[in-house]
Each structure stands twice: as C-alpha cells, then as structure tokens.
Structure 1
Amino acid sequence: MSSRSLALAAGAAFLSMLDTSIANLAFPDLGRDFGTPVHGLTWIVTLYTVLFAAVLAPSGRLADLAGPRRMYLLGTGLFAVASLACALAPDLPSLLTARAFQGAGAGAMIPASLAVLLHGTPAEGRARAIGLWSAVGALAAAVGPSVGGLLVDTFSWHSLFLVNVPVALALVFGARRLPPGGTGGRLPDLLGTLLLAAGLGLLALGVSQGSEWGWTDPRTLGVLVSGAAATAGTLLRSARHPVPALDVSLWRVPAFTTASVVSFLYGAAFYPWMLVGVLVLTRLWGYDALTAGLAMTPGAITAAAGAIALSRLASPRTAIVLGGVLMTMSAGWFWLALDPEPDFLAFWLPCGLLVGLGMGALATGISGASALSAGPARFAAATGLTTTARQFGGALGVAVLAALLAADDLGLDAFLSVYLFCGVTAVLAGAVGLALPARPQPVPTSEGAPA
C-alpha cells in the first residue's frame, strides 16, 4: 500500500471517529452555557451519528461511481466548514445544525477513505490494510474523551471543533493528487437518502423522549411509527430503484448480512459506553475534564493494539466473538463493582484496558468481514452499508442512554442500567458473529456474477 493512500485514509478515519466522542467531556460546560440538561445535550452526539449513518451508504455508492477522490474531497471539505461552524455556534440550535452537517461530511469521508486505501493495496495486503484502518478509527473514538478533556480544560468547548479545521484542510490538499477513479453512472436515490435520515432521526427521538413523554403517549407512538415507516420506505425504494440509497443487493450474501447485524449491535453498545464513562467520571466520581479524559486513555491504547494484532492473527469471526466476550465481561464487571467512591487503579484501569481490547477486536472484525466480502468495485458501498448499521445502532443506543438518565437524574442506578444495556448488546454481537464463515465469501453483483 502507498504511504500517501494510508495517510489520507487514516487521517479521514481518525477525524470522523474522533468527533463521535470528543464532545462528550464538553457536556458540563455546554450545559452551563446553554442551560440544557444532560439528556438534552445527547442530541449533540445523536444528530452527528444520524446524519453520519444516513449519508454513509449513498456516499459509498457515489465513491464507487464518481471515484473515491471526488467523494473524499467533498466529505473532508464539508467536515472542515461544519467544524468551523460548530466552533462559532452562538447557541444550541446553531450547534446542533452544524453538528448535523459535520456528521454528513464524516459519512462521506469514511467509505471514500477505505476505498482510497484498498484500491491502492494489492489483494494479499488488504486484510492488513483494513486492520490498520480499523485500528485508527478505534483509537480515535476511544481517545476522543482524553483529547476533549485536554482541550476543554486548557481552552474551552469551542476548541473541540476548531482543532479539526487545519487537519481537514491538510487532508484536502493531500488528496488532490489522487487518481480520480470511478466507474461512472447515475447518482444514488436522493429521496431514499432523505427518508433514511428522517427515519433514523425520528426513531432516535422517540426512544430518547419516551420516558419523558410516556411510552404510550400519542407523540411517542407517532414518532416511532413514522420513523419505522420512513426507514421501511427507504428499504422498499432501494430494492426497486436502479441506483438505490442502500445497496441492498449486498445483503444477499449471509456473511455480509451477519456483519451488518453485528455492526448495528456494536454501535448500540459502543456509543453509550463512551458517553456513560465520561458521566461516571465527572458526575459520580467528581473528576475534572482533564483527569476524566486521561482516565479514558488506557482503553484507547488497547483498542488500537487489539485491532492491529487481531487483523493479522485472527479471522473476522474470531475477532468479533472475542470482542463480544471481552466487552460483555467488562460490562458485567461495571454492573457488579461500580461504586460512588473513586477507585481508578483497582477497578477503572483494568476494566478500561479489557473493554478497549474488546472494542478493537469488534471494530477490526466487522471491517474485515464486510469489506472482504465485497469485490473491489464495491469496497466503498460495502463499508458504507455496515458503518451505516453501526451508526444507526449508535444513535439508538445514545437515545436509550438519554431515556435512562432522564428517568433517574444521573444516579448510580441509571449508570448501572446503561452498562447492563451495553453488556446485553455486546453479548448479542458476539453471538451473532458465530454465524460468520471462517473466510468471507465474495458478494455477487446485481447480474449474479462475482463482484
């Protein structure tokens, strides 16, 4: 693989995944500045993940059709502009709007970055390339709280978003010399993409507000039913549209479908885990933002190390099952042993190292199972679809967290409930991963020939 392709792919993956968790430690400052409770601030995470998910799959198809370079430049440029808008936001509605556009930019970057990497990598080196790419993403998401804590403690919450701008612009400059690539063809279905964004957003809204409105309240039921209908509409249109928002033909192969389900469950466990950890450290144990961020760092190290090691030593199925087991064990440990009294060395540190290893294993296993099941012509589409599943799971997982915290006002029982939810979804991810074959199977094209 070329060093330029690796640097550009890793840079885009790092930025997009860093911003899934970098804002977590800004919640106390944002709450004071905007006068909003924690469960209301979760939309800073949810909107990012929803737009990330909605744009991922069509962006993957666009990257395959128009070329990874064009989609890479578009996504990274949008991410830079939206990050600047986040940093300058004068109020919460402005910040949420900018975060939505930032998520859309990240959704365009991710599939294009992996396509850039894999198209420049020989077949025998693709498993290693995917492992490195996954490791960077896992490291970024896990290290986000520590970076966020340092920036918030030293400067302010505005710096969390401002720091993205020079890095994104450097990536744009470096990507200009990439070959254009692309197979040509029509653009993906715009209406299907809009329906997907609306469906995910409405489902997240219904889950997060259910405890406040009441689960049988007409508003809750109406939002959930509308979200399900919009999502179903996307699937129906995608099954019949010549250039669908979601390339559902990829789901004809059981291995790829299994990887997508695992990705959804992993997202539902990972996103609330990262946010509840920050809340435990700052609200329950009284750590300041910098100390809390540093406390989250050991898990980031084992996440990256686990992703790199297991991409070389284990099949995607083995990595997924192992990751599910380790993450479930960590959730059980938290559920049984979490105490209002701080205990970093004997409790938080070993548990953080363990869960980081599990997260890294799941990340590299999912990436390997999905991308290696598709042919080179659909690397980006395959990555976009499974990452969409992860972001969808993440949006719903954060919505569940918001509902649990709103019902208990940040008490110990609420935190334990979140860890229990994460443990259940993690064990399901590992169990579903057992259905994967020992080696990924090629995905057939729409004409039925191997891709």
Structure 2
Amino acid sequence: MSFTASSPEAPPATRPRVPEPARPGPAIAVASAATFVAFLDVTVVNVALPDLQRDFPGDSLVALSWVVAIYGVLFAALLTPAGRLADVVGRKTVFLGGFAAFTLTSALCALAPSVPLLIALRALQGASAAFMIPAALGIVLAVSRPEKRAAAVGLWGATTSIAAALGPALGGLLIDGWSWRAVFLINVPIGLAVLWAGWRLLPSLRRGDRQLPDLLGSLLLAAGFALVLVALTETAQWGWLDGRTFACALAGLLLLAVVWRRTRTHAAPAVDTTLWRNRVYAAASVGAALYGVALFAWMLACVLFVTGVWGYSIVEAGLAITPGAFSSAVAAVLAGRAVERHGPAPVVAIGSLLFAAAGVWCVLGIGETPEFLAFWLPLGIVGGAGMGSATVGLTAAGARALPPEQFAAGTGLLMTARQLGGALGVAALAAILDASDGGLGGFRGVFAMCTAATVLTAISALWLRRRPAAGETTTTTTTTTPEAVTA
C-alpha cells in the first residue's frame, strides 16, 4: 500500500487516511507481562523437585530433572524459527497464539497425573514460550520511536531480570503454601488477563514478504539444537565419554550441519545467516553467548550454595536473591536510558565488569558461615546491577543493528545464542561441582568460571562500536511506516 499527496481539488473525504501510530505504553506493558511469565517458568520449577519427589516416589531424580530441563531445551531450540515466523505471519498473531498455548499447557501441567505426561507438557510449554518471546520483543521495538527503543528495551529487560531472579522465591512460597501444582496454575489467570489485553491493545505488525520460513529446516534446527542441549545437560549424569553423550552430540551437530547447508539454498531459511554479516550484530551474538554462560550458571550456583552450604530453606534461598532481582530491574531501566545517550558498548562493558567484580568477590570471600548482611546482600546488589545492564546493552546492540522488519527474527537468534551459552554454563557447573562433591572449592570454581565469561563479554563490547564494512547488511533502524502498523 502506498500513500500519495491528494490534489488540491480532491475533497477531504477522498484523502487517504493514515493510521495513527500505535500507543507504545499499553503494547509494551502487555508484551512485558507475557515475557515475565515465560521467563519466570525458566527458574520457578527449580525449587519444585523435592515436592515432586514426595508426590511421585517411584520416579528417579534423573527423570524428575527433565521436568526442569525439557522446558529450556524446547525454548532455546525454537526461538530462532519462531522469530522469523513472527516477522512473516504477524507478530501479534504469533504472540497471541503462543501465549494461548502457554496458558493451556500451564493448566494441563497443574493437572498432570504422572511424571512422563508432565515432562511432555513441559516440552509443549517451552515451545509455546519460544513463540511468545521474539514476537513480544519485536512488538516492543516496532511500536517505539527509534530514539526511544533503547529505553523500551530497558523496561522489557527489567521484567526478564525480575522474573529470572524471583522464580525461586515465588516458587518456594507457592509450594510451601500449597504444592508444586501451584507454580503452573498461577499462570492461568495471568494468561487469560494478558490474552484479553493483547487482543484489545496490541497492533498488528507484518512484513511485506509473505513467504513462510523453511518448515523442514525449522524442524531440523529444533531437533539438532535439542539433541546438542540434551548431551550438554546430561553430561553430569552420563559422563563425557558415554556413548549416549556422543550419539546425541553427533546427531545434533549433523542435523545442524544440514540446516546450515539449507540456509545457503532456501529462499526463506530457518536461520537468517545474513544477519551475522553485520559486525555489530555478530559481536552482540558472541557477547550474548558468553554472558549466557555466566548468567545461568550464576543463578543456579547461588541457590545451590545457600541451600547446600549455608543450610537455607527453599523459601529463605529465594528471598535471599530478591535484592539482586530488584537491583537488576533498576539497572535495566537506567541502562536503557544510558544506551540512548552513549550507545550499547559502554553499557555492556560496565555491566559485565560489575558482574565480574561480584564473581571475584565470591571467589575470595565465600565461606561456610552464613553472612547475609555483610556479604550476600552487597554481592546481590552489585551482581544484579551488572546483570540488568549487560542484558539490556546486548539486546539493544543487536536490535540497533537490524531494520524493523527483522526485529523478531534477529532478537530470537540473539536469545538462542544466550540460551546455548547458558546450557554450556550449566553443564560446566555440574561437572565442576560433581568433581568437588559439592564442596566450597567447587563453588569457588563455578564463580571463577562466571567471572572469566563476564570479562570476555566485556571485551566483546569493543566490537559493538565498530561501523559495518562495505557490503554488510544495512544497520540503520528506520521508523515503522503506517503500512506496517495497523490497530
């Protein structure tokens, strides 16, 4: 659709009507609420394992651990194709469809009578979340004016920071008050409210290109990525030299190689590898993967440390990390404003170095005697501030390198990099703690690994300043046109 100026003789009634720009506030609120719920379920189920063991005494801990792991596997595997699908079909359509499926599977999880069925439903829940998140962030970026997009990412990033950090605390309170089923059931009323608001308030955003992404390639990508993550996740149980680890890793890598080959010949590949021709976007992807290593290992190590070494209860452990959650949220908002003024590079560098400082503090200062006020509280505030800043800086760097029609696909691929890094971090954590029998030295090793990963993330920020070379993908972020947004 094109708009041309009306001639002076044309009556007012025949002049083309340009749609009013969508109000960003309600759309950002809806997208952030859904994102909060999706990221909450990444960590909230971690504390449900003891209660699941009591309800299902015939199932092993290894089987029960898949209730936690399978969500992340499907979530990470489908982020990229889901983001591309949202760019083609329409972000509002994919967002509402994914969130409706997420709400339904949450209700079914709460009613699951057996562990195998619960694992299958958690897989569907993780797949549904994967369709929600890239579309949600794509909506946030598209409805915001170019000069305000970094601030919008800051608000959106604050919800993810709070959700990831508050998961164990909220999960502990729900389980202590009722049972593990409550951590799934709470999603239902929230989901219904967000779906109603999204239907009424979200704009419809669609690309001119109507060609759907490669369906077979998307399925192969999901399967290959899932197999690689299974190998990484189960290494602590199977061992690196076990035939199952080797078979899963080899099969996954072969499938990913097939997908990579298809990207060179398919008109609409599952993964848009041309995005990596942009040096800023490529640097943001590397930084996101390195940051994921530290972030996921850190969050799990903190809970394991205060419960295993300091003897905190699940509720106490959750409450102990709450100050870091609020620090992260405040830092995310401030980081969005800082990106507007100074660009993403210094925000990523400073946030990563704050995170690294918290890691050094842990390596040098942790002991077997609980010290909340003198040690853990300032640690959480500093580490949380670093996490919030780095999350927003990396997301904003990737988004600023993309034109609006690639927001969902690009941010999905960026989050996939972070999830893959997170899987590596958790696998390394399991190996380090297993070698030390969960002792204090093992936790020092984990925090040292997190410190190294965040220092490397800070170094990757140097490339976020570079301009694209000749022939690289265009990085100018343009204003969303009236044709792209309809109420």
Q: TM-score normalised by the shorter chain: which range applies?
A: over 0.9
Structure 1 residue 66 corresponds to structure 2 residue 89: yes
For 1:442 and 1:47, locate their aligned partners in 2 and report how far apart those are by CA, in whole Å: 42
Question: Contact between 2:236 and 2:430, CA under 8 Å: does it hold in 1?
Answer: no
Write out per-residue CA displacement over residues 295-350 of structure 1, whole angstroms, 9 at most, x where no aligned residue. Answer: 11000011011111111124211111112211122122222222222111111111
> Once structures 1 and 2 are overlaid, which stretch shifts more, 8-17 or 433-442?
433-442
Write out per-residue CA displacement over residues 345-392 of structure 1, whole angstroms, 9 at most, x where no aligned residue. Answer: 111111111110111011100110011111111111111110111112
For 2:41 and 2:88, locate their aligned partners in 1 and report how far apart those are by CA, in whole Å: 27
Question: Contact between 1:266 and 1:429, CA under 8 Å: does it hold in 2?
Answer: yes
Match of 2:255 among 230, 246, 249: 230
Match of 2:203 among 175, 179, 184: 179
Question: What's the offset of the Cα at 1:440?
Answer: 8.9
Q: Gapped runs of 5+ residues in structure 1?
A: none
Normalising by structure 1, report the TM-score.
0.92
Identity %: 44
> Once structures 1 and 2 are overlaid, which stretch shifts more, 154-163 or 432-441?
432-441
> 1:331 — aligned with what?
359
Match of 2:293 among 232, 254, 268: 268
> 2:49 — aligned with what?
27
Question: Contact between 2:47 and 2:314, CA under 8 Å: does it hold in 1?
Answer: yes
Normalising by structure 2, report the TM-score.
0.86
Match of 2:424 among 380, 385, 396: 396
Question: What's the offset of the Cα at 1:402?
Answer: 3.2
> 1:150 — aligned with what?
173
Instruction: Within 5 Å, give how 1:216-295 maps onto structure 2.
Output: 216-295=241-320
> 1:356 — aligned with what?
384
Write out per-residue CA displacement over residues 274-314 of structure 1, whole angstroms, 9 at most, x where no aligned residue. Answer: 12211222222221222111111000011011111111124
Question: Contact between 1:250 and 1:443, CA under 8 Å: does it hold in 2?
Answer: no
> 1:377 — aligned with what?
405
For 2:442 and 2:55, locate their aligned partners in 1 and report how far apart those are by CA, in whole Å: 25
> 1:138 — aligned with what?
161
Shift in CA distance, 443/195, structure 1 to aligned 2, threshold 3 Å: farther
Question: Contact between 2:338 and 2:347, CA under 8 Å: does it hold in 1?
Answer: no
For 1:33 and 1:148, locate their aligned partners in 2 and report how far apart those are by CA, in whole Å: 16
For 1:401 and 1:95, locate their aligned partners in 2 and report how far apart those are by CA, in whole Å: 26
Question: What's the offset of the Cα at 1:40?
Answer: 6.0
Shift in CA distance, 211/103, structure 1 to aligned 2, threshold 3 Å: closer
Question: Contact between 1:146 and 1:292, CA under 8 Å: does it hold in 2?
Answer: yes
Write out per-residue CA displacement over residues 233-276 of structure 1, whole angstroms, 9 at most, x where no aligned residue. Answer: 22222232211111111111010011111111111211121122
Shift in CA distance, 333/232, structure 1 to aligned 2, threshold 3 Å: farther
Q: Which has the larger radius of gyration?
A: 2
SS of structure 2 residue aligned to 1:23: helix
Write out per-residue CA displacement over residues 145-167 of structure 1, whole angstroms, 9 at most, x where no aligned residue. Answer: 22122212222221111111111
> Once structures 1 and 2 are overlaid, which stretch shifts more, 223-232 or 285-294?
223-232
> 1:4 — aligned with what?
26
Question: What's the offset of the Cα at 1:69?
Answer: 0.9
For 1:125 and 1:142, locate their aligned partners in 2 and report how far apart those are by CA, in whole Å: 26
Match of 1:195 among 198, 217, 220: 220
Question: What's the offset of the Cα at 1:74?
Answer: 1.0
> Once structures 1 and 2 are overlaid, which stretch shifts more, 381-390 or 230-239?
230-239
For 1:65 and 1:83, locate their aligned partners in 2 and report how far apart those are by CA, in whole Å: 27
Question: Given residue 6 of structure 1, which amino acid in structure 2 is its aligned partner?
Answer: I
> 2:37 — aligned with what?
15
Q: Gapped runs of 5+ residues in structure 2?
A: 1-22, 479-487
Question: Contact between 1:152 and 1:289, CA under 8 Å: does it hold in 2?
Answer: no
> Once structures 1 and 2 are overlaid, which stretch shifts more, 417-426 or 133-142?
417-426
Write out per-residue CA displacement over residues 61-95 of structure 1, whole angstroms, 9 at most, x where no aligned residue. Answer: 11111111101111101111121222222333222
> Once structures 1 and 2 are overlaid, which stretch shifts more, 295-304 or 335-344?
335-344
> Once structures 1 and 2 are overlaid, which stretch shifts more, 302-311 or 332-341?
332-341
Question: Contact between 2:67 and 2:119, CA under 8 Å: does it hold in 1?
Answer: yes
Shift in CA distance, 211/120, structure 1 to aligned 2, threshold 3 Å: closer
Question: Contact between 1:204 and 1:399, CA under 8 Å: does it hold in 2?
Answer: no
Shift in CA distance, 40/345, structure 1 to aligned 2, threshold 3 Å: farther
Instruction: Within 5 Å, give how 1:86-165 maps onto structure 2.
Output: 86-165=109-188
SS of structure 1 residue aligned to 2:234: helix
> Once structures 1 and 2 are overlaid, which stretch shifts more, 156-165 or 92-101?
92-101
SS of structure 2 residue aligned to 1:285: coil
> Once structures 1 and 2 are overlaid, which stretch shifts more, 127-136 or 294-303?
127-136
Question: Contact between 1:75 and 1:108, CA under 8 Å: does it hold in 2?
Answer: yes
For 1:373 and 1:442, locate their aligned partners in 2 and report how far apart those are by CA, in whole Å: 15
For 1:418 and 1:40, locate their aligned partners in 2 and report how far apart those are by CA, in whole Å: 25
For 2:92 and 2:476, locate their aligned partners in 1 and report how far apart those are by CA, in whole Å: 27
Question: Contact between 1:269 and 1:397, CA under 8 Å: does it hold in 2?
Answer: yes
Question: What's the offset of the Cα at 1:180?
Answer: 2.8
Question: Given residue 74 of structure 1, which amino acid in structure 2 is its aligned partner?
Answer: G
For 1:96 and 1:407, locate their aligned partners in 2 and report how far apart those are by CA, in whole Å: 28
For 2:125 and 2:259, locate their aligned partners in 1 and report how far apart those are by CA, in whole Å: 23
For 2:132 and 2:91, locate their aligned partners in 1 and report how far apart those are by CA, in whole Å: 9
Question: Contact between 2:400 and 2:476, CA under 8 Å: does it hold in 1?
Answer: no
Structure 1 residue 366 corresponds to structure 2 residue 394: yes
SS of structure 1 residue aligned to 2:205: coil
For 1:197 and 1:328, locate their aligned partners in 2 and report how far apart those are by CA, in whole Å: 32
For 2:426 and 2:225, locate their aligned partners in 1 and report how far apart those are by CA, in whole Å: 12
Question: Given residue 254 of structure 1, which amino acid in structure 2 is its aligned partner?
Answer: R
